[in-house]
Amino acid sequence: MIRTLRFAASILFLLISTTYSAGDINSKLIIDGIEREYILHLPKNYSTEPLPLVMIFHGGGGTAEQVMNHTKFNKLADKENFICVYPNAVDKNWNDGRIGDKLPMDIDDIKFISTLLDTLTANYKINSKRIFSTGISNGGFFSLYLALKLSSRILAIAPVTANIPENLKDNWKTDKPISVLLINGTKDPLVKFDGGPVGFKDDETGRGVSLSTSWTVKILTENNSCMQGTKTEVIEDTEDDDCKAEKETYYKCADGTKVILVTIKGGGHTWPGASQYLPKIIVGNVCKDFNATEMIWEFFRSLPERE
């Protein structure tokens, strides 16, 4: 009887030690001697089924907690049953492939995320074939850089207010085709829709130089061997918010991938559908005609897994 109780107790301990409840988990990794932090969100119905993982990256000067609260991915994850992770950059800036003396080019953030994916897939019920990345500004640039460096592990990305850096224009070729949803505003004062130095005028080229949105899309579609045809949809203008948006879909791309550009005419350096986190005079206008968080998840969810 005692042996039976001890055996039952050991089984119960094993189950408790390998089962995680829904909610937010603050964790750390040591990468190259540096303590790296992240917030993991498990949806309320998390159990034994492997789930998609969405990585959400904060912008320059932001934090994991800030972008978590701003984008509200957790609420959608609880409803749609996927896992979210919000990593923190060293000194609030990602090494996203740009060249500039105000950028952390000596930090190996690709190694951090690769190790993070190893850790999460080993310890949680994650569908390793359905890993996605999104982010705003510096986090959007970093999502593009992750696609370049980790295309074999990431199924799709959705950068917001970002373009391919000019210094990578001749070398942006992924090992595998990767689906991309790009959301940019024509009145973005920091990451210019038509390309140029990133940041305000007094930054000069300290934060690197980005390509134009049209040039970025050209590289993305050529990378995926997309056909020339596009489908253009006007997003319903439901709010009096000084912006209008349209979606261009490039179809017949390699391996069933997609490239989609959402152009927000009058949109600023902002997350559509979220709050005006800084005054318009600094970051421009927030488009309220659609919710970027919902659009991004719908895009991720629609994609087939690689064979």
Residue 296's pLDDT is: 98
Helix, strand or coil for residue 279? coil
Residue 251's pLDDT is: 85
Q: Is residue 67 part of a domain?
A: yes
State the CATH number of the domain containing residue 238.
Answer: 3.40.50.1820
Mark out the alpha helices in 45-156 (DSSP H runs): 64-71, 73-80, 109-123, 138-149
Residue 205's pLDDT is: 73
**Number of separate domains in the chain:** 1
CA distances from 151 to 117, 178, 179 (A): 13, 6, 10
Residue 59's pLDDT is: 98
Q: What is the pLDDT of residues 185-207, one digit of tens each?
A: 999 999 999 999 999 876 777 99
C-beta of residue 174 within 8 angstroms of C-beta of residue 255: no
Helix, strand or coil for residue 211? coil
Instruction: Name the stretches of the chain with pLDDT < 50.
Output: 1-20
Residue-range definition of the domain harbouring residue 104:
20-302
C-beta of residue 229 within 8 angstroms of C-beta of residue 221: no
Q: Is residue 3 part of a domain?
A: no
Q: Is residue 1 part of a domain?
A: no
* pTM of this structure: 0.92
Tell me which residue has tokens 């409840």.
21
Q: Is residue 232 part of a domain?
A: yes
Residue 102's pLDDT is: 92
3-state helix, strand, coil in the chain (%, to 5): 30, 25, 45
Q: Is residue 5 part of a domain?
A: no
Residue 7's pLDDT is: 30
Nearest Cα neighbor of 135 from 123, 127, 144 is: 144
Residue 202's pLDDT is: 67
φ, ψ dihedrals at 255, nearest 5°: 55, 30
Q: Is residue 14 part of a domain?
A: no
Residue 8's pLDDT is: 32
Residue 298's pLDDT is: 98
Q: Which residues contact 209 (CB under 8 A, 6 or more apart)?
A: 98, 165, 166, 167, 195, 196, 197, 198
Q: Is residue 261 part of a domain?
A: yes
